[in-house]
């Protein structure tokens, strides 16, 4: 067990180094000069050079990487070129909102996806099933940038129930998390439906019903497991 | 009467009717209400010397005061400097306003100016390159400053409209200072959620009486136009900038929303790579210019939200003079091409992806127009960084670009694009005569500047090292609750004199 853990730790360390090296090289090889992007179009070449030197971008690549690794080891992730502020601060500021949005979307996916799937499977061939299937197909086929705009227009602009953008509390989470959850919800719903249907045909389900279990118990306690 | 006068007039009437007949009746009303603006470009820093972003300039104008302001009709007016004058060609003297304090109570005086100017000159900041010509900054008592320059710097007052004055206490602890900065501006800094919004609160001790009009301003950064417009239409925000012509109808049709526009201080300018054999010959450039029907672009593609060009420099700026519109004459274009021996010409037209409204449609229309006279246009719509690199490398014939004359002065434009040093890695423009005139036009005397610039403009107009297809129009949309909002030519959103119902 211990040797396994050590091996995995070693492997992940290697992966980290590999990824950082790759990202580092790619970011510097692709076209685009950070100093030119920061300065206005009319900045003279000397100013571009100066700013690049200031940003440390005129050192050879391997020196830049060395500096980067040395600082990271000390817990310093460097300065964001764009914000001219510590990169770690720029990232950390965004973490809470990102996590909240991801969790809400995940919650929606599980709750809605499983419920729709179960309903469709249990009421197979009824209106519920068809409605569920239509929703699932829509969820998987609507591009989410479009869905997002439509939700904004309907709930933000026309009905004015929810804010159109920004982040200042839970109301701001509703539309983005629905948009984000649409695709995975549809996927989960379809998977739930088809695997539940398969299981409902199994012997032990019939046994359960035969011994007089109530239908909800059959579905929730046995089939969904 | 134009719209602005009308708005100002109606503001006065409203103000007058609201004042109750008390002893203190003449006094201005205390600030009231909360304005929320949605700007197109994210602000990246609170340091007024470390950016050239138009959004950041307008946001920071509320927190910091510059020495001078520029009005929408391009007049330079006092802000923290009560007056200024050139002592000679390389010396400016500024007399400062007395009794002004920073938000933390420290007085504003000559030390602030000396600190701010030396900081921007000596620092490695985004604006530093503009101030390299400053030789020295000397205070003369507490309320006067003399700036000497290495060569004439006639556009210094114009540039200073974009530089907020800082308290000298910022020295040495800049990182901490810019976490919670203080200025002398009409609003105090409250908080900034990076990438999302900034909160400002009225400065009750602002030196300009009756300003600001509202207690609180929030500026949200909403980069996507459709989202910005949705927030305005939903009533969440009160003003948005950078509206595109095809969004105007939707916004005009929304109850409670008004659309304002004004000719911008920006000229579109598509520059040629003058070292390329394709377009080196002035006859070829003239032919390309003659083959483009600018009115079609203005009327059909930009829906009238652009103005015909009559000079490389937009009206209102020093040096502008009406040189008449460029003609549209495809027959003459064909003739010129034949004379130049370029009957089978193909040119690369490089665009910076999604930078200007409707640019791809415009480029396609131009390609069709040039096709009519036998020029094949190869449109290359590249990522901004890639496009700029291609330009530096010289891999283009024509480059789609615009120039906003941000300090309301054309010196920067001329110096950057029409001197050998400036144009070297760009357009490869090199004309000693023009260079000479630009140097002569840097003196403070406005009469000399006007005359030199007119001369430069005539040369450029004839030679056409670039095409000037149209002047841009700045379009804003606002809530009808806003009072006295001015659609600025420089794309700023300035709210200190704006009230809200």
* Beta strands B187-193 and B398-399, pairing class: unpaired
Q: How far apart are CA B441 and CA B401, in angstroms?
A: 25
In sequence order, the β-bridge partners of residue B474 are B262
Averaged pLDDT of chain B: 92
The count of other CB atoms within 10 Å of the CB of residue B425 is 15
Q: How far apart are CA B377 and CA B120, in angstroms?
A: 44
Residue scoring higher pLDDT (B190 or A40): B190
pLDDT at B183 over 50: yes
Tell me the longest C-alpha to C-alpha distance in chain A. Answer: 86
Chain B residues within 8 A of A166 when measuring between CB atoms: 196-197, 220, 222, 231, 236
pLDDT at B15 over 50: no
A167 touches chain B (CB under 8 A): yes
pLDDT at B175 over 90: no
CB contact under 8 A, B220 and A32: no
pLDDT tens-digit readout, B266-283: 999 999 999 999 999 999
Give the number of beta-carbon pairs within 8 Å between A and B.
94
Closest Cβ–Cβ partner in B193, B231, B388 for A36: B388
Residue B487's nearest CA partner among B317, B258, B309 is B258
Answer for the pair A205, A130: CB distance below 8 angstroms, yes or no: no
Chain B residues within 8 A of A93 when measuring between CB atoms: 193-194
Write out the DSSP string of A58-69: TS-HHHHHHHHH
Q: What is the pLDDT of residue A15?
A: 93
CB contact under 8 A, B383 and A36: no
pLDDT tens-digit readout, B395-428: 999 999 999 998 999 999 999 999 998 888 889 9
Average pLDDT value for residue range B117-143: 94
Average pLDDT value for residue range B31-35: 95
Q: How far apart are CA B376 and CA B343, in angstroms?
A: 10
* Beta strands B346-352 and B376-382, pairing class: parallel
* Beta strands B239-240 and B216-221, pairing class: unpaired
Q: What is the pLDDT of residue B332?
A: 96
Residue B258's nearest CA partner among B410, B65, B478 is B478
Name the band, by pLDDT with cuts 50, 70 and 90, for residue B27.
Answer: low
Distance between B270 CA and the closest CA of chain A, angstroms: 14
Chain A residues within 8 A of B387 when measuring between CB atoms: none
Name the band, by pLDDT with cuts 50, 70 and 90, for residue B5.
Answer: very low
Distance between A57 CA and the closest CA of chain B, angstroms: 14
Helix runs in B166-235, H state only: 174-177, 225-233
Q: How far apart are CA B414 and CA B439, in angstroms?
A: 10
**Buried b or exposed e, range B391-424, using 16+ CB within 10 angstroms:** beeeebbbbbbbbbbbbbbbbbbbbbbbbeebbe
Name the band, by pLDDT with cuts 50, 70 and 90, for residue B444.
Answer: very high
Long-range own/partner contacts, residues B378-381 (CB < 8 A, 24 or more apart): B378/B346, B378/B347, B378/B348, B378/B349, B379/B349, B379/B351, B380/B348, B380/B349, B380/B350, B380/B351, B381/B351, B381/B353
ipTM: 0.77
The DSSP 8-state label assigned to residue B301 in this structure reads I
Q: What is the pLDDT of residue A45?
A: 78
Averaged pLDDT of chain A: 88
Average pLDDT value for residue range A2-6: 89
Q: What is the pLDDT of residue A60?
A: 85
Chain B residues within 8 A of A94 when measuring between CB atoms: 195
Average pLDDT value for residue range B16-26: 41
Q: What is the pLDDT of residue B443?
A: 96
CB contact under 8 A, B234 and A164: yes
Residue B254's nearest CA partner among A164, A150, A151, A153 is A153
* Beta strands B471-479 and B239-240, pairing class: antiparallel
Residue B379 CA: distances (Å) to CA of A137, A216, B93, B347, B368: 39, 64, 50, 8, 11
A171 touches chain B (CB under 8 A): no
A56 touches chain B (CB under 8 A): no
Q: How far apart are CA B420 and CA B422, in angstroms?
A: 6
Q: What is the pLDDT of residue B191?
A: 95
Reduce the DSSP state of residue B433 to 3 states and report it: helix
Lowest mean per-residue pLDDT among A197-206, B59-68, B285-294, B368-377? A197-206
CB contact under 8 A, B196 and A167: yes
A90 touches chain B (CB under 8 A): yes
| Beta carbons within 8 Å of B16's beta carbon, 6+ residues apart | none
CB contact under 8 A, A50 and B44: no
Closest Cβ–Cβ partner in B44, B47, B128 for A82: B44
pLDDT at B9 over 80: no
Average pLDDT value for residue range B329-352: 95
Q: What is the pLDDT of residue B8?
A: 40
A82 touches chain B (CB under 8 A): yes
| Beta carbons within 8 Å of B488's beta carbon, 6+ residues apart | B72, B262, B474, B494
A57 touches chain B (CB under 8 A): no
Q: What is the pLDDT of residue A94?
A: 87
Write out the DSSP string of B349-402: EEEETT-STTHHHHHHHHHHHHHHTT-EEEEEEE-HHHHHHHHHHT--SEE--E
Closest Cβ–Cβ partner in B52, B236, B385 for A163: B236
Q: What is the pLDDT of residue B458?
A: 97
Reduce the DSSP state of residue B473 to 3 states and report it: strand
* Run of H or E including B339: helix B330-339
Answer for the pair B226, B38: CB distance below 8 angstroms, yes or no: no
Searching chain A, which residue's CA lies closest to the CA of residue B223? A165
Residue B187 CA: distances (Å) to CA of A21, A93, B11, B69: 46, 25, 21, 16
Searching chain B, which residue's CA lies closest to the CA of residue A46? B129
Residue B307 CA: distances (Å) to CA of A80, B13, B243, B265: 40, 33, 16, 11
CB contact under 8 A, A157 and B416: no
Residue scoring higher pLDDT (B382 or A209): B382
Q: What is the pLDDT of residue B20?
A: 41
Q: What is the pLDDT of residue B266?
A: 96
Answer for the pair A168, B36: CB distance below 8 angstroms, yes or no: no
pLDDT at B1 over 50: no
Residue B320's nearest CA partner among B457, B438, B187 is B457
Answer for the pair B7, B465: CB distance below 8 angstroms, yes or no: no
Name the band, by pLDDT with cuts 50, 70 and 90, for residue A53.
Answer: confident
Q: What is the pLDDT of residue B6?
A: 41
Write out the DSSP string of A67-80: HHHHHHHTT---EE
Answer for the pair A135, A208: CB distance below 8 angstroms, yes or no: no
Average pLDDT value for residue range A33-45: 79
The DSSP 8-state label assigned to residue B200 in this structure reads E
pLDDT at B21 over 70: no
Q: How far apart are CA A162 and CA A175, in angstroms?
A: 8
Searching chain A, which residue's CA lies closest to the CA of residue B401? A41
A165 touches chain B (CB under 8 A): yes
Residue B105 CA: distances (Å) to CA of A57, A145, B201, B204: 41, 49, 16, 12
pTM (predicted TM-score): 0.85
Answer for the pair B165, B80: CB distance below 8 angstroms, yes or no: yes
- Number of residues assigned to chain B: 501
Residue scoring higher pLDDT (B271 or A168): B271
Distance between A167 CA and the closest CA of chain B, angstroms: 8
Name the band, by pLDDT with cuts 50, 70 and 90, for residue B28.
Answer: low
Q: At B125, phi and psi to the nearest 5?
A: -115, 165
Q: What is the pLDDT of residue B22?
A: 41
Q: What is the pLDDT of residue B198?
A: 96
Q: How far apart are CA B39 and CA B242, in angstroms?
A: 8
Answer for the pair B431, B252: CB distance below 8 angstroms, yes or no: no
pLDDT at A84 over 80: no
pLDDT at B53 over 80: yes
pLDDT at B18 over 50: no
A146 touches chain B (CB under 8 A): no
State percent of chain B over pLDDT 70: 94
Chain B residues within 8 A of A152 when measuring between CB atoms: 227, 230
Q: What is the pLDDT of residue A167?
A: 84
Average pLDDT value for residue range B51-58: 91
pLDDT tens-digit readout, B39-50: 999 998 999 999
Name the band, by pLDDT with cuts 50, 70 and 90, for residue B4.
Answer: very low
Chain B residues within 8 A of A164 when measuring between CB atoms: 227, 230-231, 234, 236
Q: What is the pLDDT of residue B25?
A: 40
Write out the DSSP string of chain A: -HHHHHHHHHHHHHHHHHHHHHHHHHHHHSS--HHHHHS-TT--HHHHHHHHHHTTTTS-HHHHHHHHHHHHHTT---EETTTTEEHHHHHHHHHHHHHHHHHHHHHHHHHHHHHHHHHHHHTTTSHHHHHHHHHHHHHHHS-HHHHHHHHIIIIIIIS--S-SS--SSTHHHHHHHHHHHHHHHHHHHHHHHHHHHHHHTSHHHHHHHHTT--HHHIIIIIIT-
pLDDT tens-digit readout, B204-251: 999 999 999 999 999 999 999 999 999 999 999 999 999 999 999 999
Name the band, by pLDDT with cuts 50, 70 and 90, for residue A46.
Answer: confident
Q: How far apart are CA B313 and CA B319, in angstroms?
A: 7
Residue B105's nearest CA partner among B30, B169, B162 is B169
Dihedral of alpha carbons B34, B40, B43, B48, sign: negative
- Number of residues assigned to chain A: 225
* Beta strands B239-240 and B34-39, pairing class: parallel
The count of other CB atoms within 10 Å of the CB of residue B318 is 19
Q: What is the pLDDT of residue B17?
A: 40
Answer for the pair B185, B165: CB distance below 8 angstroms, yes or no: no
Residue B189's nearest CA partner among B99, B81, B104 is B104
């Amino acid at each position: 067990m211990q040797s396994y853990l050590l091996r995995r730790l070693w492997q992940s360390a290697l992966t980290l180094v590999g990824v950082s090296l790759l990202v580092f090289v790619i970011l510097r090889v692709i076209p685009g000069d950070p100093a030119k992007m920061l300065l206005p179009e009319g900045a003279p070449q000397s100013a571009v050079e100066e700013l690049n030197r200031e940003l440390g971008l005129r050192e050879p690549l391997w020196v830049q990487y060395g500096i980067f690794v040395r600082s990271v080891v000390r817990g310093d992730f460097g300065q964001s070129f764009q914000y001219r502020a510590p990169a770690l601060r720029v990232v950390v500021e965004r973490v809470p909102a990102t996590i909240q949005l991801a969790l809400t979307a995940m919650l929606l996916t599980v709750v809605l996806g499983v419920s729709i799937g179960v309903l469709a499977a249990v009421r197979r061939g009824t209106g519920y099933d068809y409605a569920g299937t239509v929703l699932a197909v829509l969820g998987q086929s609507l591009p989410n940038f479009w869905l997002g705009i439509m939700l904004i227009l309907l709930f933000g602009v026309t009905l004015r129930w929810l804010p159109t953008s920004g982040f200042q509390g839970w109301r701001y989470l509703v539309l983005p998390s629905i948009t984000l959850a649409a695709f995975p919800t549809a996927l989960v719903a379809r998977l739930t439906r088809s695997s539940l249907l398969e299981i409902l045909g199994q012997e032990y389900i019939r046994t359960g019903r035969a011994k007089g279990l109530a239908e909800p118990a059959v579905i929730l306690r046995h089939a969904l497991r | 009467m134009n719209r602005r006068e009308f708005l100002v007039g109606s503001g006065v009437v409203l103000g007058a009717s609201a004042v109750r007949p008390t002893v203190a009746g003449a006094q201005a009303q205390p600030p009231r209400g909360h304005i929320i603006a949605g700007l197109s470009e994210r602000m990246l820093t609170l340091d007024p010397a470390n950016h050239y972003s138009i959004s950041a300039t307008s946001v920071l104008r509320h927190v910091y005061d510059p020495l001078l302001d520029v009005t929408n009709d391009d007049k330079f007016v006092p802000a923290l400097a009560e007056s200024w004058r050139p002592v000679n060609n390389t010396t400016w003297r500024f007399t400062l306003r007395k009794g002004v304090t920073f938000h933390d109570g420290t007085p504003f005086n000559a030390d602030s100016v000396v600190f701010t100017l030396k900081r921007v000159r000596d620092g490695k900041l985004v604006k530093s390159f503009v101030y390299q010509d400053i030789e020295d900054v000397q205070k003369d008592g507490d309320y006067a400053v003399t700036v000497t320059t290495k060569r004439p710097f006639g556009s210094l007052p114009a540039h200073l409209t974009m530089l907020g004055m800082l308290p000298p206490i910022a020295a040495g602890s800049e990182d901490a200072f810019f976490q919670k900065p203080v200025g002398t501006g009409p609003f105090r800094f409250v908080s900034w959620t990076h990438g999302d919004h900034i909160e400002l609160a009225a400065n009750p001790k602002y030196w300009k009486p009756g300003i600001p009009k509202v207690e609180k301003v929030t500026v949200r950064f909403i980069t996507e136009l459709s989202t910005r417009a949705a927030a305005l239409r939903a009533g969440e925000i009160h003003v948005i900038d950078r509206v595109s012509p095809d969004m105007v109808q939707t916004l005009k049709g929304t109850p409670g929303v008004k659309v304002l526009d004004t000719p911008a201080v920006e000229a579109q300018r598509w520059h040629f790579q003058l070292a390329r054999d394709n377009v080196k010959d002035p006859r070829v450039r003239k032919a390309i210019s003659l083959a483009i029907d600018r009115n079609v672009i203005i009327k059909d593609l930009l829906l009238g939200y652009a103005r015909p060009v009559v000079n490389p420099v937009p009206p209102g700026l020093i040096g502008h003079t009406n040189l008449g519109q460029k003609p549209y004459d495809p027959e003459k274009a064909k003739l010129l091409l034949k004379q130049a021996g370029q009957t089978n010409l193909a040119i690369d037209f490089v665009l910076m992806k999604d930078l200007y409204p409707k640019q791809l449609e415009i480029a396609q229309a131009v390609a069709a127009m040039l096709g009519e006279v036998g020029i094949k246009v190869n449109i290359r719509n590249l990522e901004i960084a890639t496009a700029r690199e291609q330009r530096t490398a010289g891999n283009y014939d024509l480059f789609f670009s615009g120039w906003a004359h941000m300090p309301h002065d054309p010196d920067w434009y001329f110096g950057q694009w029409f001197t050998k040093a400036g144009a070297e890695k760009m357009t490869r423009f090199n004309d000693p005569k023009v260079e000479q005139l630009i140097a002569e036009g840097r003196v403070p005397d406005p009469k000399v500047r006007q005359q030199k610039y007119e001369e430069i403009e005539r040369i450029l107009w004839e030679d056409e090292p670039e095409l000037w297809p149209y002047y841009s129009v700045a379009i804003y949309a606002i809530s009808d609750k806003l009072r006295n909002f001015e659609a600025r030519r420089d794309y700023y959103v300035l709210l200190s004199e704006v009230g809200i119902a």
